[in-house]
Structure 1
Amino acid sequence: MLSYGFAFVSDLERLGEVIKRVNRTSRDRDMITKELGFDCLIWNSMASVSDRDFVSETLQWAIARQEWPCFWSHGWLDTQKALPSTYKKDLQEVSDSIHIANGVLATLKVDGAMMKAALDPFMLATGAADYLVRKGVPFRETHHISGQCVAKSEETGIPMNELSFEQLKAIDSRFEEGITETFVYETSVERRSAKGDTSKSLVLEQI
């Protein structure tokens, strides 16, 4: 019975560790983190919006939490090789996935030229929306306008980053000549300057 007591205490300690990892936020940023009681913010913006760890870790803990009560109840019902606990072959290591992953990362080579060739002007579509947001236009409007820019590119066969100022102005009169700078990949990246965004200085800070 005492062995199960230690197991249950371990489950509670594990829950504390889960809370440390999932009690974080991605949104506007230090103030919300403090006001909502999160321990810290998630630095990388892409990781924050794709993160589902807070779901999976909590569920994993809940599943693990049920293992020991299950083992405990089994121990009252029967024995395995004369041992009601401690011998469970399914708990032994059955794969070498960590070592395999380590080898993959150690030999990984990033092809910068291939990555650059994969750039698509449509990646810059949100830049048009952000440009107008900075001028005070609500995002619910700018999202639709950026979609019109994409449609114009498809209609004319002209890459989005090569549309003329006149073509963009015809889509929305609030576009000014500076809009063409928005469709430069490097400029687009550098303009993301909130904590965890993609500007070079912030990426280096995360590294």
Structure 2
Amino acid sequence: MKAWQGRFISGSSDLLEKFNASIGFDYKLFSQDIKGSMAHSTMLAEIGILTAKECEAIQNGLAEIEFDLKKVIEEGKTDFDIKYEDIHMMIESLLIDKIGDIGKKLHTARSRNDQVAVDLRLYVVHKVTEIQNQTASLMKLLLELSEAYVDDILPGYTHLQRAQPIRLGFHLMTYYQMFKRDYERLTDTLKRTSVLPLGSGALAGVNYKTNRELLKNLLDFNEISEHAMDAVSDRDFVIEFNSVVAIMMMHLSRFSEELILWSSSEYAFVEISDAYTTGSSIMPQKKNPDVAELVRGKTGRVYGNLMSILTVMKGLPLAYNKDMQEDKEGLFDSVETIQMCLEVFTAMLSETRFNTVEMNKAAKQGFLNATDLADYLVMKGLPFRECHHITGSIVKICVQTGCAIEDLSLSQLKQFSALFDSDVYKHLELSSVVEAKKSYGSTSKESTLEMIHKAKTYMDQLV
């Protein structure tokens, strides 16, 4: 008989049993559920609901169940009987089978509503820490690559058109900044996730003077929820986590897209290691960037998980509703997806070879020094808009004649403006163009090295 079945005349239909059960996926919370139950039993003993001996029996029983479940799950034997409904009822049933009626006392002063909530929060807190560690590894790799390639120049693009020359180290630091924001968003998510809901009961609190401060300390939460109904009906932390992970996947997807483009023959800027590429079943010459493509593709499923939980929660009246059982599968999938993507993407990037010769060659094409030609005239006293027009006219002639700006003679340049002098050619050199950027956060070597140094200092604080 189920724990809630006392008021029912007949049993559940087999169809309901199958439809209602969540044990097929929420078994992943077994460790968190046992941790929460151990803390709860300690608290019950502290307020006199359990004797010390009863608490010890419950604690020992739960420890044995955790050991057994861990072994079973590691062996892939997760086809648990749906009669249990969920992992919470399964563990309680196993405990009662193991230690007898003492196990029935464990659920005093709590509901499955606050039990599920505490399990889920413990899970998210744990996974945030793991994901942050993986993110930090990727950030460190980006710093290493940025410093290694600080002297190499490639085209910077807007609209996928060559725009201005930049340092490869500067380009890679762009992604460092993205993942730094992701790391900090995860930290911020913890502020609202590390809040203890246990002790809220079903929705209105419990009829016992429980010690929630003790529970908070035992479970390493930062705060205690202030409102029982909100505590059991809140899934904002799941939504927020899914949102942060979706943004992180977007950043991984953008990076993947560039590597896909750069590994094509049209760019030839990078070569991804054989270990992270695949071949074609029919075309022997192919080397496909499948890892990057899969990361890009899996971004869509993480977006879908975010949209799913938002939709589940959008019309729910207070407090707990069974709809909220749908919060877990998408969450688990997002966790597993982001962790796998971070692991394989970091490994792939560490074995990617950057073809700096091709990058430099591309930077010398496409009139990437045109803006600096205009700025040269600005320094001579002309208004920028006039300089822009003159430079545009020069580029038009170069396009028509098939030459670069620096290929034009000084007399040819003077036909557009008498302000041109022989020093203009120094300003048009690729190295000069890059170093001319003096603003804070620019692509000059000094600026790029400064941002790398600041990033290293930041990373040292994370350890």
TM interval, short-chain normalised: 0.5 to 0.7
The answer to whether structure 1 residue 88 and structure 2 residue 333 are counterparts is no
- Could you tell me which amino acid in structure 2 is paired with residue 200 of structure 1? K
1:76-120 CA distance string (max 9 Å, x none): 6x525xxx4575312212522222221222112211112122221
Identical-pair percentage: 28
1:123 deviates by: 0.7
The answer to whether structure 1 residue 2 and structure 2 residue 230 are counterparts is yes
**Structure 1 unmatched ranges of 5 or more:** 18-62
Partner of 1:115: 359
Partner of 2:408: 163
Partner of 1:194: 439
Alignment of 1:1-207 (within 5 A): 1-4=229-232, 7=235, 69-70=313-314, 72-73=316-317, 79=322, 84-85=324-325, 88-93=328-333, 94-95=336-337, 96-119=340-363, 120=365, 122-207=367-452
Secondary structure of the residue aligned to 2:419 is coil
Gap change, CA 1:73 and 1:140, over 3 Å in 2: farther
- Could you tell me which amino acid in structure 2 is paired with residue 191 of structure 1? A
Partner of 1:25: none
The structure number with the bigger radius of gyration is 2
Moved over 3 A (4+): 4-8, 63-69, 71-76, 84-87
Query: Retained in 1: the 8 A contact 2:435–2:445?
Result: yes
1:122 deviates by: 0.6
- Could you tell me which amino acid in structure 2 is paired with residue 176 of structure 1? D
TM-score under structure 1 length normalisation: 0.62
Query: Retained in 1: the 8 A contact 2:378–2:384?
Result: yes
- Could you tell me which amino acid in structure 1 is paired with residue 230 of structure 2? L
Q: 1:115 and 1:157 mapped to 2: Cα distance?
A: 21
Gap change, CA 1:73 and 1:161, over 3 Å in 2: farther
- Cα RMSD of the aligned pairs, angstroms, is 3.3
1:150 deviates by: 0.7
Gap change, CA 1:140 and 1:64, over 3 Å in 2: farther
Q: 1:65 and 1:137 mapped to 2: Cα distance?
A: 57
Gap change, CA 1:5 and 1:137, over 3 Å in 2: farther
Relative contact order (alpha carbons < 8 A, sep ≥ 6): 1 or 2 greater?
1
1:142 deviates by: 1.3
Q: 1:203 and 1:142 mapped to 2: Cα distance?
A: 28
What count of residue pairs does the alignment treat as equivalent? 155
Secondary structure of the residue aligned to 1:92 is helix
Q: 1:140 and 1:177 mapped to 2: Cα distance?
A: 23
Query: Retained in 1: the 8 A contact 2:437–2:443?
Result: yes
1:70 deviates by: 2.4
Query: Retained in 2: the 8 A contact 1:71–1:85?
Result: no
